[in-house]
Amino acid sequence: MDSLKSIRLTDQINQVILDDYSRVMQLPGNPISKFILITVGIEFLGACLDKQHIKSTARGEKRFNSAITKLFSARYHHFVKDGSVPNLYTDFRCPVIHQFTTEKTVFLCSREDAGIYRHLTYNQDGSLTLIAEDFYEDLANAARAMIDTLGGTK
């Protein structure tokens, strides 16, 4: 990858994911809006990893799953494997972006609404709990790892 492209991507990651998203995550309420940003951020990081041109189409699942497996901690990896229930791409990413909801196998909330539940644990209904602020922290760590891969700093 050429150094100018790396600098542009690093600047975008810094500005959007690490700065702009951070401010949104600190606002009260609106967990679905936060999750929409998180899904887009994950897929963007996957596009940065992809050898295909960043504007290539029909690569959403590959990019989303690649970002999870290459930039997120191992505790996420099971949830992007074929046949996993829930599957973060089919049960979380797609419905969040296209329908502003999730499948019943995923429960979205903010820290203030999580109660006794923890991020990436199952609730009493058997749904995987995703907490916006915790997921964002992991996205921010993934973004920093991507910056390191690109040779930038933050």
* Ranges of each domain in the chain: 3-98+132-150
Residue type, 48: C
Q: In what order do the strands lie in the sheet with 106-109?
A: 106-109, 128-131, 121-122
70-81 burial, b for 16+ CB within 10 Å, e for fewer?
ebbeeebeebbe
User: Is the pLDDT at 154 greater than 90, yes or no?
Assistant: no
Euclidean distance between CA atoms 28 and 107, whole angstroms: 18
| Backbone Cα Rg of the chain | 15
Q: Is the pLDDT of residue 153 over 60?
A: no
DSSP of 102-146: --TTEEEE-HHHHTT--TTEE-TTSPEEEEHHHHHHHHHHHHHHH
Q: Dihedral through CA 102, CA 141, CA 148, CA 18, nearest 10? A: 80
Residue 54's pLDDT is 75
Report pLDDT digits (tens) over 85-118: 999 999 999 999 999 999 999 999 999 999 999 9
Within 10 angstroms of residue 65's Cβ, the number of other Cβ atoms is 22
- Please report the pLDDT score of residue 29 as a whole number: 86
Task: Calculate what percentage of the chain has a pLDDT beyond 70.
Answer: 95
Query: What's the mean per-residue pLDDT of the chain?
Result: 93
Q: What is the pTM of this model?
A: 0.93
Give the span between the Cα atoms of 67 and 143, in whole angstroms. 10
pLDDT of residue 4: 65
User: Rounded to whole angstroms, how far apart are CA atoms 146 and 108?
Assistant: 26
Q: For the segment 45-89, what is each residue's pLDDT rounded down to a tens digit? A: 999 999 877 777 889 999 999 999 999 999 999 999 999 999 999
Spatial distance between the Cα atoms of 7 and 56, rounded to a whole number of angstroms: 20
| Between 105 and 3, the higher pLDDT residue | 105
